[in-house]
């Protein structure tokens, strides 16, 4: 019989077009703190969702205390003793702490609620976490983030969870709160509760975890005692893949600095972000999700307000009040969220292609249909957009072709600086290569391209220079001819390490 | 429009058209002599004119995924202002009166749009609901809650728009109503505006995805302010028609105008989720409502029964809208993978 409190054995989970988990196995011992790490998209979220009954795997088995179980919904997982504290807390701010802890399984006395008992049990749970100071009658929304998280953990304790999953629990906490959380986790451990600790922070893994599992591309790479591991071991295990010729990089002629950013600040988001991007080059932006890369680009584009800092376009200081203003100054911004921020899904290919340059395609108030038609046909040919016609509603196109429509929209603005945020996310390999080809052409034509990407191989293959961000700060700027232009160094910087 | 969606759109337009034809046939069978009479047909066109104008403004609001609940009060306010100008100030110049009515309504619409965009309201429901009451209150205040008659006040030329007809089809004075002629002209302009101009297309884009529109340099807030001003303008035009149509200004005349306009748009293919709807569909929707009202009147159905039936038609139309959205979402999902 298995010694694990919860075990996943040979789990495979497929989504249309991708295998999110491949033959994945992981076992968590009673009372252990088990770290789980991996790059963005390695499959950690899917693994959590399988454990919590949100996703049902196609293959493989789940065991709880040696007994085989199947979760058809989150309630069954919770009843089996698995609780999860998500990064985004599930607190109802208007309700009291007690109401939150007992949500969905209140204790009654006849037809009435037995608040005396619920308050008492809630207070006990919080006390066992070392937080007797939290008033259970208080509105949960009035607590700080760290205390709200304690309420969530107390909720897990009060259902007698055997395993508590913590997804990036420290990401929104301050230093003191993190210490308190670590303290609470140790208390849980001493009571025999197992913790699956998912984190992007290696130092936390080493500080608190007994064992650690590394995932990559949906597969299990290694599980070892943390005492036997070094930071480099973990990074190599996370990165360890080989580059092939998926990346048709072509070099342009390096030109002047077209975009310079000095000390951008947004309270709580960006801190003193500075960098330069040259014409004729691709400047890559590497980092983990939440490192502040998208926020930097949105601020440059005038989509969000800045608290401080200066932006120079071709040496001239600018201050864009809106995206419209930025577009006028020949900046293009391909957003990471194609469907939410890039396309009008209910409109046709033709309209989406001229969305950002309607003025140029108008004579007075009227649209110049002939020119729109011509340009649309040119775009379809040159960008190889596969669509039955220009009148196709963009919702009907595949992800790759949708992305090419968005790229076409920006090419039509005749911009000089192209910011591509995760340009190949969620599109197939063939379409990816074509997106790289388009970037090559832009660079070849002397344009300045900025590429934010969470895929390291892509960053390494396509960038002439890489800016690495973490926690809203620039950690390193690495040129292609530098000794640090490799995945290990970039990962190290992205995870908060220092490059010599 | 692409082939598949064009076919779908055609079918959808046809369903409403078919429904209109069926209703027409039903009334033609039940009350043949009264309903089919040319004078009655012209009367229907006259009756739907005001709803058509208000619905055209409502349509642009719905396309942006918004709504304008103040249209009834707004058009009544225009008529009341004209009444007050005639009665208390003795103004009879039709141009001045028309401009005053249209002006006040456009201003009210502009306030609607400004409230929505400056206060960053999540939805115009609340702001236009508030304005509906404010405008009604103003109309009651300026008229002293009394009805103002326009007959024999020297404003016949202004009443011409809402009252008179052109031609004489049956030898007994049944002509084509001027008001519906105005509707046809306005709708043709709307059609060109919505399909051929940059601003018209931007209205659809803002309705389909406001954030993507903003990030593509479309000034979403300005577009929205324009949309509500346009809706106000159309209310003003409807108010001018009201002068001739009712021959009086009464602050309480507009109770059902809001819902009638919304119903016409939704029946005609617009959606509460925005990004959709055509001006001709809206006209068919308005005609459908007009035919139901007219037919029930001729059958001497009492007011209460009419309310029930119109209510059911609105519910049916919304149910169809929901079903349509679900089917489209399904199609989108299967295509997105």
Q: Do strands B176-177 and B165-166 pair parallel, antiparallel, or not at all (unpaired)?
A: antiparallel
**B276 chain-A contacts, CB cut-off 8 A:** 346
Which residues are within 8 A (CB) of B172 and not within 5 positions of it... i.e. 6 or more apart?
Answer: B39
pLDDT in tens, B36-95: 999 999 999 999 999 999 999 999 999 999 999 999 999 999 999 999 999 999 898 999
Q: Cβ separation of A361 and B198 shorter than 8 Å? A: yes
Question: To the nearest whole angstrom, how far is the Cα of A25 from the nearest Cα of chain B?
Answer: 27
Q: Cβ separation of B196 and A333 shorter than 8 Å? A: no
Residue A241 reports pLDDT greater than 60: no
User: Could you tell me which residues of chain A have a Cβ less than 8 Å from any Cβ in chain B?
Assistant: 16-17, 301, 303, 322-324, 326-328, 333, 335, 339-348, 351, 355-356, 358-359, 361-362, 365-367, 369, 388-389, 391-393, 395-397, 399, 409
> Would you state the pLDDT for residue B276?
86
pLDDT in tens, B176-222: 999 999 999 999 999 999 999 999 999 999 999 989 999 999 999 99
- Residue A384 and residue A401 in contact, taking contact as beta carbons nearer than 8 Å: no
pLDDT band at B165 (very low <50, low <70, confident <90, very high): confident
Q: Cβ separation of B208 and A344 shorter than 8 Å? A: yes
Q: What is the Cα–Cα distance from A407 to A415, expressed in whole angstroms? A: 11
Whether A138 and A194 map to the same domain: the answer is: yes
Residues in chain B, how many?
A: 337
Residue A428 reports pLDDT greater than 60: yes
pLDDT band at A17 (very low <50, low <70, confident <90, very high): low
Please state, for a pLDDT cut of 90, what percent of chain A lies above it: 65
Whether A184 and A286 map to the same domain: the answer is: no
Whether A365 and A224 map to the same domain: the answer is: no
On the CB side of A347, how many CA atoms lie within 13 Å of its CA? 30
How crowded is residue B286: how many other Cβ atoms within 10 Å of its Cβ?
A: 28
pLDDT band at B1 (very low <50, low <70, confident <90, very high): very low
Domain that holds residue A160: 6-239
Q: Which of B169, B164, B168, B317 is nearest to B241 (CA)?
A: B164
Residue B273 reports pLDDT greater than 50: yes
- Residue B16 and residue B267 in contact, taking contact as beta carbons nearer than 8 Å: yes
Q: What is the ipTM of this complex?
A: 0.82
| B10, B198, B220, B223: best to mutate for the A interface, most A CBs within 10 A | B198
**B198 chain-A contacts, CB cut-off 8 A:** 358-359, 361-362, 365-367
**A347 chain-B contacts, CB cut-off 8 A:** 204-205, 208, 275
What beta strand segments (E) does B132-187 contain?
A: 148-149, 165-166, 176-177
Q: What is the Cα–Cα distance from A116 to A124, expressed in whole angstroms? A: 12
In a domain, A499, yes or no: no
Tokens of A357: 């340059």
Residue A436 reports pLDDT greater than 90: yes
Q: What is the Cα–Cα distance from B97 to B100, expressed in whole angstroms? A: 5
> Would you state the pLDDT for residue B337?
41
Q: Which of B203, B236, B208, B231 is nearest to B218 (CA)?
A: B203
> Would you state the pLDDT for residue A234?
86
- Residue A68 and residue A43 in contact, taking contact as beta carbons nearer than 8 Å: no
Whether A416 and A466 map to the same domain: the answer is: yes
Whether A223 and A282 map to the same domain: the answer is: no
On the CB side of B119, how many CA atoms lie within 13 Å of its CA? 13
- Beta-carbon contacts below 8 Å between A and B: 107
> Would you state the pLDDT for residue B331?
63
Whether A210 and A285 map to the same domain: the answer is: no
Number of domains in chain A: 2
Tokens of B110: 């502009």
Please state, for a pLDDT cut of 70, what percent of chain B lies above it: 93
Kindly identify which residue of chain A lies nearest to residue B214, measuring between CA atoms.
A323
| B193, B216, B219: best to mutate for the A interface, most A CBs within 10 A | B216
pLDDT in tens, B236-270: 999 999 998 888 898 888 888 998 999 999 888 88
**CATH code for residues B16-331:** 1.10.3470
Q: Cβ separation of B208 and A358 shorter than 8 Å? A: no
Residue A333 reports pLDDT greater than 50: yes
User: Where is the domain boundary, A204, A239, A274?
Assistant: A239
In a domain, A249, yes or no: no
| A298, A346, A392, A412: best to mutate for the B interface, most B CBs within 10 A | A346
Q: What is the Cα–Cα distance from B162 to B240, expressed in whole angstroms? A: 7
Whether A307 and A264 map to the same domain: the answer is: yes
On the CB side of B88, how many CA atoms lie within 13 Å of its CA? 11
Kindly identify which residue of chain A lies nearest to residue B206, measuring between CA atoms.
A344
> Would you state the pLDDT for residue B274?
87
Output the CA torsion sign for B36, B40, B46, B49. negative
A59-64, strands of its sheet edge to edge:
A18-28, A6-15, A59-64, A67-69
Q: What is the Cα–Cα distance from A167 to A362, expressed in whole angstroms? A: 50
Whether A62 and A140 map to the same domain: the answer is: yes
Give the domain ranges of chain B.
16-331
A331-334, strands of its sheet edge to edge:
A331-334, A417-421, A448-452, A282-286, A465-470, A473-479
Q: Cβ separation of A340 and B5 shorter than 8 Å? A: no
| Average pLDDT for B103-131 | 92
| Average pLDDT for A111-115 | 87
User: Where is the domain boundary, A239, A269, A299?
Assistant: A239
The CA-to-CA distance between both ends of chain B, in Å, stands at 23
Residue B334 reports pLDDT greater than 60: no
Tell me how many degrees the CA angle A37-A46-A420 measures, rounded to the nearest 5. 80
In a domain, A248, yes or no: no
**A396 chain-B contacts, CB cut-off 8 A:** 2, 4, 331-332, 335
Q: What is the Cα–Cα distance from B76 to B276, expressed in whole angstroms? A: 28
Q: Residue B190 is inside which H or E element, if any? A: helix B178-196
| Average pLDDT for A427-451 | 89
Question: To the nearest whole angstrom, how far is the Cα of A62 from the nearest Cα of chain B?
Answer: 28
In a domain, A360, yes or no: yes
Q: Cβ separation of B218 and A344 shorter than 8 Å? A: no
User: Where is the domain boundary, A180, A212, A239?
Assistant: A239
Q: Residue B248 is inside which H or E element, if any? A: strand B248-249
**A389 chain-B contacts, CB cut-off 8 A:** 2-3
- Residue B102 and residue B213 in contact, taking contact as beta carbons nearer than 8 Å: no
On the CB side of A42, how many CA atoms lie within 13 Å of its CA? 25
């Amino acid at each position: 019989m298995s010694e694990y409190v919860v075990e996943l054995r040979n789990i495979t989970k497929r989504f249309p077009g991708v295998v999110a988990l491949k033959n994945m196995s992981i076992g968590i011992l009673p009372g252990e703190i088990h770290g789980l790490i991996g790059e963005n998209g390695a499959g950690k979220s899917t693994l959590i969702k399988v454990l919590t009954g949100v996703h049902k795997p196609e293959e493989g088995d789940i065991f709880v205390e040696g007994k085989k179980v199947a979760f058809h919904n989150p309630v069954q997982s919770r009843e089996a003793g698995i609780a999860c504290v998500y990064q985004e807390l599930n607190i109802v701010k208007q309700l009291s702490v007690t109401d939150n802890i007992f949500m969905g399984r209140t204790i009654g006395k006849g037809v009435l609620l037995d608040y005396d008992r619920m308050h008492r049990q809630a207070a006990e749970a919080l006390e066992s976490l070392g937080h007797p100071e939290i008033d259970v009658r208080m509105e949960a929304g009035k607590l700080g983030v760290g205390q709200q998280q304690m309420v969530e953990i107390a909720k897990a304790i009060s259902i007698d969870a055997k395993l508590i999953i913590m997804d990036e629990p420290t990401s929104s906490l301050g230093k003191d709160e993190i210490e308190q959380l670590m303290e609470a986790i140790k208390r849980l451990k001493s009571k025999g509760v197992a913790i699956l600790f998912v984190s992007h922070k290696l130092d936390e893994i080493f500080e608190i975890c007994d064992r650690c599992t590394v995932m990559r591309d949906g597969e299990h790479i290694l599980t070892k005692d943390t005492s036997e591991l070094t930071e480099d071991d973990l990074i190599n295990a996370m990165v360890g893949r080989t580059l092939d010729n998926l990346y048709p990089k072509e070099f342009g002629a390096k030109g002047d600095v077209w975009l310079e950013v000095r000390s951008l600040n947004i309270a709580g988001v960006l801190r003193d972000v500075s960098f330069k991007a040259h014409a004729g080059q691709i400047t890559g932006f590497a980092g983990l999700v939440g490192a502040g890369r998208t926020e930097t680009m949105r601020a440059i584009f005038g989509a969000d307000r800045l608290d401080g800092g200066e932006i120079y376009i071709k040496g001239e200081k600018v201050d864009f009040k809106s995206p419209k203003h930025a577009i006028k100054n020949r900046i293009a911004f391909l957003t990471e969220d194609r469907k939410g921020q890039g396309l009008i899904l209910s409109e046709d290919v033709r309209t989406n292609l001229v969305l950002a340059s309607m003025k140029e395609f108008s004579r007075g108030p009227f649209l110049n249909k002939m020119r729109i038609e011509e340009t649309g046909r040119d775009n379809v040919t040159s960008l190889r957009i596969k669509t039955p016609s220009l009148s196709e509603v963009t919702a009907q196109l595949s992800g790759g072709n949708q992305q090419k429509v968005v790229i076409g929209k920006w090419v039509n603005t005749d911009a000089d600086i192209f910011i591509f945020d995760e340009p190949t996310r969620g599109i197939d390999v063939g379409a990816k290569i074509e997106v790289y080809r388009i970037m090559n052409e832009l660079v070849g034509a002397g344009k300045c391209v900025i590429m934010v990407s969470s895929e390291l191989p892509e960053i390494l293959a396509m960038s002439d220079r890489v800016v690495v961000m973490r926690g809203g700060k620039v950690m390193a700027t690495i040129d292609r001819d530098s000794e640090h232009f490799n995945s290990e160094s970039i990962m190290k910087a992205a995870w908060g390490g220092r490059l010599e | 429009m692409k082939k598949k969606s064009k076919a779908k759109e055609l079918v959808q337009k046809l369903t409403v058209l078919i429904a209109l034809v069926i209703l027409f046939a039903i009334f033609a069978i039940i009350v043949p002599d009264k309903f089919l009479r040319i004078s009655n047909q012209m009367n229907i066109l006259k009756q739907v004119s005001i709803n058509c104008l208000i619905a055209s403004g409502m349509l642009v609001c719905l396309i942006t995924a918004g709504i304008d609940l103040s249209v009834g009060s707004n058009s009544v306010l225009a008529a009341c202002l004209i009444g007050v100008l005639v009665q208390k100030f003795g103004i009879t110049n039709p141009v001045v009166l028309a401009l005053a009515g249209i002006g006040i309504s456009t201003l009210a619409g502009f306030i609607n749009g400004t409230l929505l965009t400056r206060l960053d309201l999540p939805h115009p429901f609340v702001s236009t609901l508030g304005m509906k009451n404010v405008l009604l209150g103003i109309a009651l205040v300026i008229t002293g809650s009394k009805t103002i008659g326009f007959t024999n006040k020297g404003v016949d030329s202004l009443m011409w728009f809402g009252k008179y007809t052109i031609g004489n089809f049956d030898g007994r004075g049944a002509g084509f109503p001027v008001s519906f002629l105005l509707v046809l002209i306005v709708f043709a302009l709307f059609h060109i505006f919505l399909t051929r101009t940059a601003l018209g297309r931007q209205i659809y884009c803002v309705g389909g995805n406001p954030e993507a529109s903003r990030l593509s340099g479309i000034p979403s807030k300005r577009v929205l302010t324009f949309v509500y001003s346009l809706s106000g303008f159309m209310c003003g035009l409807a108010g001018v028609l009201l002068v001739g149509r009712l021959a009086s200004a009464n602050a309480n005349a507009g109770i059902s105008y809001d819902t009638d306009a919304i119903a016409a748009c939704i029946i005609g293919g617009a959606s509460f989720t925005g990004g959709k709807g055509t001006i001709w569909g809206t006209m068919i929707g308005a005609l459908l409502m007009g035919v139901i009202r007219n037919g029930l009147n001729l059958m001497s159905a009492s007011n209460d029964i009419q309310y029930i039936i119109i209510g059911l038609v609105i519910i049916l139309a919304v149910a169809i809208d929901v079903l349509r959205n679900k089917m489209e979402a399904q199609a989108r999902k299967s295509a997105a993978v």
